[in-house]
Amino acid sequence: MLNQPLQEPFELFLIGDTGDISPTRPDPVLETLKAHLQPSQESAVIFLGDNIYPRGMPAKGNILRKNAENTLKRHYEALKDYEGQVVFIAGNHDWNKGRKDGYEYILRQEKYIQQLFEGKNVFLPSNGCPGPVEVDINPHLTIVAIDTQWWLQTGLRPIGKQYRCSVSTEEEFFERLIAILDKNKHKHLLVAGHHPVYSYAIHGGRFKLKHHIFPLTIYDPYAYLPLPGLGSLLPLYRKFLGAREDMAHPRYRRLRKKLKEILSGYPNLIYAAGHEHNLQYIFKDRNHFIVSGSGSKVKYVVRDGKYLQFGEKAKGFVKLRFENDGSVFLSAWAMDTSRRLLKGKLLYEKQII
Q: Spell out a b/e string for 171-181, using b for 16 or more CB atoms within 10 Å of the CB, else e.
A: eebbebbeebb
Q: Specify whether the CB–CB gap between 294 and 314 falls below 8 A.
A: yes
- What are the C-alpha distances in Å from 265 to residues 123, 133, 178? 28, 19, 10
- What are the C-alpha distances in Å from 234 to residues 167, 209, 225? 38, 12, 14
Q: Torsions phi, psi of 23, nearest 5?
A: -80, 0
CATH number corresponding to 10-204+268-351:
3.60.21.10
Write down the H helix ranges in the chain: 28-36, 65-79, 102-116, 149-152, 170-183, 209-213, 233-240, 250-263
| Whole-number Å distance between alpha carbons of 264 and 198 | 13
Per-residue pLDDT, 270:
98
Four-CA torsion 18, 20, 23, 25, nearest 10 degrees: -70
- Please name every residue paired with 188 in a beta bridge, in sequence order, or none if there are none: 141
Per-residue pLDDT, 211:
57
- Please name every residue paired with 86 in a beta bridge, in sequence order, or none if there are none: 45
Find the distance separating the first CA and the last CA of the chain, reported in whole Å: 10
Per-residue pLDDT, 249:
81
Sign of CA dihedral 334, 319, 341, 349: positive
What pTM value is reported for the model? 0.90
Per-residue pLDDT, 300:
84
Nearest to 320 by CA among 268, 266, 264, 263: 268
Give domain limits for the chain: 10-204+268-351
Q: Specify whether the CB–CB gap between 281 and 303 falls below 8 A.
A: no
**Between β-strands 188-192 and 316-322, what pairing exists: parallel, antiparallel or unpaired?**
unpaired
Q: Block means of pLDDT (10 residues each) for the chain, length 353 residues?
A: 64 97 91 94 97 96 96 95 95 96 97 92 96 94 98 95 96 97 96 97 67 56 59 55 74 94 96 97 96 94 90 97 95 89 94 96
